[in-house]
Amino acid sequence: MNPDRLEQQMRFLIEIDKLKHVFRQTLLMDASRYENDAEHSWHLALMAILLSEHAAEQQLDTLRVLKMLLIHDLVEIDAGDTFCYDKAGNRDKAAREQKAADRLFAMLPHEQGPEVRALWDEFEAGRTPEARFAGALDRLHPMLHNYQTRGAAWRKHGVRKKDVLDRNRAIEQGSPALWEYAKRLVEESVRKGFLCE
Amino acid sequence: MNPDRLEQQMRFLIEIDKLKHVFRQTLLMDASRYENDAEHSWHLALMAILLSEHAAEQQLDTLRVLKMLLIHDLVEIDAGDTFCYDKAGNRDKAAREQKAADRLFAMLPHEQGPEVRALWDEFEAGRTPEARFAGALDRLHPMLHNYQTRGAAWRKHGVRKKDVLDRNRAIEQGSPALWEYAKRLVEESVRKGFLCE
């Protein structure tokens, strides 16, 4: 074992503690405070463990799904959280996140940085079954929080039923079953007044 | 797909949002507030992804390590966090956590509950290479936080060098390399006044 290599990995692990300070637009399910990216990533990983049977593809590499979900938001340490319905913020999001990825993953030892970067690129591109399933969970998760908090983030930002369906339609590519569930959640939310038509 | 089964899984995923409210004795690395169990579990999973090369056993099932780390603290939703140096609290910890595991994992569908319970039992027993490595990370992680916060939790609770070494010696079973690193961290902490001899 090369102590410099371990030291470099530890510096990265210390750096990413900052993800616990990146707050999202989503409230915790008891609506007591905003959720941060580290908690969100943990919750997604649990969803992947428990819901992989509902993925579009049955022969999924769950380890790769988990790795992607656990690292997918690290770039927000530099780039910040961009609310998915914020059109202006989403215009330069990709460029901000690429720059963040360049800095962060370069902190890792020589072959490990590119490995983690490749996982992040795969998640972002959404072209493999694993990335599509991970992406579906990343979209479904805030919908669960919104439903549990009576549409708090939707109402705060004037998000409507059509916005939610347009934004989250990609869930179907990763999991038709979860997309059916998501659509029922949207209908229930409209019926209960958590989301406007 | 059976909608009742998915509904049951979702109820569990909603229930475990409570882990974000279970606070530990560890401060975040910038010392701004206490860390919660969801953040801790996410950070451990990242450690497992990046540090598995340092495990005692080279043929490790990383997926099982990740699953164990992501679920290992769920029982604290009912049982609360027990500070590892709190002798009184640790006396009935096992009983409190067994009861919590009984309630929580029974929320999952019939074969999935026992599967997750088996992972938790494996982590607790620490008899497989995967459980020993996961346990090593669970011990090392608060040491990193303590070092970064100039020994905040150690000093608050009057924890001494011998306590830290005794408590964390099991790291060696999971990873001799990380145990070497941990011992250097302890020496540095004593030298810098973060930890008393």
The tokens for B37 are 């169990």
The tokens for B162 are 């011998």
pLDDT digit string (tens) for B1-38?
Answer: 566 999 999 999 999 999 999 999 999 999 999 999 99
Chain B, nearest residue to A50 by Cα: B9
Strand pairing of B23-27 and B34-36?
Answer: antiparallel
Q: How many angstroms separate the CA atoms of B180 and B194, rounded?
A: 19
B110 secondary structure, DSSP code: T
Mean pLDDT over residues B75-93, rounded? 87
Does A20 sit within 8 Å of B46, measured CB to CB?
Answer: no
Q: How many angstroms separate the CA atoms of A189 and A146, rounded?
A: 9
| Residues β-bridged to residue A23 | A36
Q: How far is B44 from chain A (nearest CA, A)?
A: 10
Residues in CB range of A139: below 8 A, 6 or more apart? A167, A168, A170, A171, A182
Residue B136, helix vs strand vs coil:
helix
DSSP string, B44-80: HHHHHHHHGGGSSSSS--HHHHHHHHHHTTTTHHHH-
Q: What is the pLDDT of residue B84?
A: 81
Q: How many angstroms separate the CA atoms of A124 and A24, rounded?
A: 18
Q: Is the pLDDT assigned to residue A38 strictly greater than 90?
A: yes
Query: Between A1 and B161, whose confidence is greater?
Result: B161
Q: Hey, what domains does chain A have and what are their CATH numbers?
A: 3-192 (1.10.3210.10)
Residues in CB range of B110: below 8 A, 6 or more apart? none
Average per-residue pLDDT in chain A? 96
pLDDT digit string (tens) for A134-168?
Answer: 999 999 999 999 999 999 999 999 999 999 999 99
Q: How many angstroms separate the CA atoms of B62 and B136, rounded?
A: 14
Mean pLDDT over residues B121-146, rounded? 98
- Show which residues on chain B lie within 8 Å of chain A, measured between beta carbons: 1, 3, 6, 9-10, 12-14, 16-17, 19-21, 28-30, 32, 35-36, 38-39, 41-43, 45-47, 49-51, 54, 62-63, 66-67, 70-71, 108, 112, 116, 144-145, 148, 177, 181
Closest CA to B71 of B42, B99, B35, B107: B42
Q: Is the pLDDT assigned to residue A1 strictly greater than 70?
A: no
Backbone angles phi, psi at A177, to 5 degrees: -65, -40
Lowest-pLDDT range, A82-86, B12-16, B158-162? A82-86
